Structure 1
Amino acid sequence: MTTATITTTAPPRPSPVRRAIRAWPAWTPYAAAVWSAGYGLLGLLWALGVDGYPFGPGDLPDAREESILGATTAAGVGPWIAGLGFAGAVIALTMARLPAGRARLPARLPARVARVALAGWGWASAFLLVVLVPDQRVLTTVAYTPLALVGIPFGWPPMAYGEFVETVLPWPNVNQWICVFGGLLWAATALAFQRRTASACVHCGRRDAHSYGWTSRAGAARWGRWAAYAAFLMPFAYAVVRWAWALGIPLTISQEFLDELHRSGMVWAGAYLASFAAAGGVLTLGLTQRWGVIWPRWVLGLAGKSVPRAFPLVFATTVTLALASGGSVILRLTDWSDPAEWAANPLMVLAPWSVLLGAATLGYHLRTRRACRACGRG
């Protein structure tokens, strides 16, 4: 008679990177505090006369008009950057260290006022750093980088990879990406704080005995579908105009301006952007179609396998943020007293496109999320 030995294999431990990502509610407030203190220190140094102020006279000359800080100086704005940065560091640490639960917030202030004030600072900081401080250069970098990666070996654009990096990422442009990174840290900090002080799971936001309504899978599938279809159509309002220019049709512009675009070759860059935008619009449908969850048959080697959720979420979120910063510039610089100006500008679609794409991305997230690893809800 023999006995069989049964062995069990423990599930593989997640990598350190994955563990760090899953623990984001714990460390993002401290990361936001470090970022704020560091950028506040830069503001102090700029105010004291240290070189490197990336706005106003320190910005690229042809980009100052579009920047919201294009008319500022280091002496005037540096102290504000320092003050807001150091204050943000203190607030982020306060948000990290306040105990969970609604009733445990400081007794001197009503609980709701305290939550709204701290969370409001976090969301306002995120909006300022992600949408208002950056300009169209973030969107330009996102749009032209795929073309450069593929086209440079074939001579378009006619430069080496190093030259392309130097062109799109001088210090003022790098600073904008630094601001976007800080804004994302503040958004994560505010979200984790809201969930923790509402007695919800900080990882997924779910609560016991809570009716999820529009955030349920069924609810998100309904409104997310409409948002995805609308986001799919938005870029074609821009693309049709750019394609018309490439074909020699002066749609919304004068014939003289169109001739100049053809002489300089810029019309073909516009045609590429139009095609890139249209392709992005088509891909948006994946946020509500089956092929956004399961790789379709025409994807060699992956057909029938599950699409990693992070792939569409990261891609769509990146495009959403780039569209939001570019759209804010268009809304700010448009002469709203002249209907002919804003009605004929194909870039007016950027702001509403970012809102619709963001909504479609959120709908995809809510529709496809699984049970929470931390709390087990869902």
Structure 2
Amino acid sequence: MTQLLVKKQRRQAGWHEWIGYAAAAWSLLYGALGLYWALGGAGFPFGVGDEELMNEPAFAFKVSLLGLATPEAAGPTIATLGVIGAAAGVLMARGFRIGSAPWLLPAFAWAMALGLTVVVQDYRTLIIVAYTPVLLVSKTFFGWPEGAGWAELYEPERLNLLVLLLAGVVWALTAVAYRRKVTGACGNCGRGDERRPSALQRWGRPAAWIAFAIPLVYCLTRWAWALGFSLGIDPAFYREGQEDGLWLAGAALATLGGIGAVLTLGLIQRWGEVFPRWMIGLRGKRVPPMLAVVPATLVSVLVASAGGMYIRLVVARGGVTASTWPLELPETLWVLWGAALFTAAMAYHRRRRGTCEACGKGAAVETH
């Protein structure tokens, strides 16, 4: 009987058991890179080492908060945070809770998560994720755009930002897993003994509608440009965009955004839980919750981090004008888009998590 129980517990052990160690390992490795850069090693990907930003040095700090970073200053900081992060990750994975650890450790983890997913990010991480499918289709079927390919999209500095963003997600999950450990909640589903109404149950539906509406503002401006409407931007700049295909690329990206906006409504609609009838081979089957939660969460982080950069740009330029609003205003709303999409995704996850195999507790019921 004891052996069966042990086997069952091992089988039920999931991400919450190893995620802290993953955060620790990444921190140690990246901290080692920081030390390497501080000692003069090549490949420093921020500030003065970011070739893409250094093409316009005066513009660098407006795009990235690390736009003026140097390896001499940033390298030791990265190394120090790496060592602290390695220790904190291990302690959180082991459920260390002596003294002030129960609030100090998750505070550090959330600070790391916010810093890696938002503070050090700019629009280039979103470019990688958004333009990968666009480039795949355009290059495969149309051979367009000429002179641009995967090497230009996957530049090392951009890939570094993508790695940092994923590491930030790992730190956020580490904080969640640790909280479950110290509060006695189920590590697998997060349920505890209390049964308090969740704010997600109240805000999930309006958040989904907000996350549906905001990207459409961006989409409408990009579709308008592709159809020949300048919307008041500088005529010379608009003609240049027409000649080099910029507005067509923007329309393609906007189309993906529009599809994503519609899919967002699946977080609150029946077809987001059961495949609709027109999906041959899948109709009537249950939609795996993670099929919606994972991409929605990733997109929420991407657009929020890019939105933060656009807000910095607007502030640096003195605000939005009648001739620049189509270029700048839609993106400044992306922080709200990201927050709303994340809230809607978490509400969907909570509603659909089902009966937990580890603790046996049932799903919460969402109130509409």
Query: TM-score if structure 1 supplies the norm length?
Result: 0.85
Q: Residues 247-262 of structure 1: matches in 2 within 5 Å?
A: 247-262=227-242
State the partner residue of 1:37: 28
For the 8 Å contact 1:250–1:258, the answer to whether it is kept is yes
CA shift for structure 1 position 43: 0.1
Indicate yes or no: 2:289 matched with 1:292.
no
For the 8 Å contact 2:211–2:261, the answer to whether it is kept is yes
State the partner residue of 1:207: 192
Indicate yes or no: 2:285 matched with 1:305.
yes
Cα RMSD (Å): 2.3
Write the distance in 1 (CA, Å) between the matches of 2:109 and 2:80: 16
Match of 1:319 among 285, 295, 299: 299
Query: Residue by residue, what CA displacement relative to the aligned partner does 1:15-39 show, whole Å, maximum 9, x if unpaired?
Result: x9xx69x511111111111111111
State the partner residue of 1:172: 157
Q: Residues 65-214 of structure 1: matches in 2 within 5 Å?
A: 65=61, 66-99=63-96, 105-106=97-98, 109=99, 113-158=100-145, 164-208=149-193, 210-214=194-198
After alignment, is 357-366 or 167-176 more displaced? 167-176
Write the distance in 1 (CA, Å) between the matches of 2:116 and 2:102: 21
Aligned-pair identity in percent equals 41
SS in 2 for 1:130: helix
State the partner residue of 1:236: 216
Residue type of the alignment partner of 1:251: L
State the partner residue of 1:4: none
> Please, which runs of 5 or more residues in structure 2 have no aligned partner?
1-6, 55-59, 363-368
Write the distance in 2 (CA, Å) between the matches of 1:72 and 1:204: 41
CA shift for structure 1 position 157: 2.8
State the partner residue of 1:362: 346
Query: Residue by residue, what CA displacement relative to the aligned partner does 1:255-285 show, whole Å, maximum 9, x if unpaired?
Result: 2322221122111111112211111111111
CA shift for structure 1 position 339: 4.4
Write the distance in 1 (CA, Å) between the matches of 2:245 and 2:136: 20
Write the distance in 1 (CA, Å) between the matches of 2:101 and 2:87: 15
State the partner residue of 2:359: 375
Indicate yes or no: 2:50 matched with 1:59.
yes
Residue type of the alignment partner of 2:64: S
Write the distance in 2 (CA, Å) between the matches of 1:177 and 1:262: 30
Write the distance in 1 (CA, Å) between the matches of 2:118 and 2:171: 13
Query: Residue by residue, what CA displacement relative to the aligned partner does 1:45-104 show, whole Å, maximum 9, x if unpaired?
Result: 0000010111122213347452221111111110000011111111112222345xxxxx
For this pair of structures, how many residues does the alignment match? 345
Write the distance in 2 (CA, Å) between the matches of 1:230 and 1:68: 28
Query: Residue by residue, what CA displacement relative to the aligned partner does 1:285-316 show, whole Å, maximum 9, x if unpaired?
Result: 11110111111111121111111111111121
Residue type of the alignment partner of 1:42: L
Query: TM-score if structure 2 supplies the norm length?
Result: 0.87
Report which of the two structures shows the higher radius of gyration computed on alpha carbons.
Answer: 1
State the partner residue of 1:266: 246
SS in 2 for 1:334: helix
Change (3 A) 1:264 1:141: same
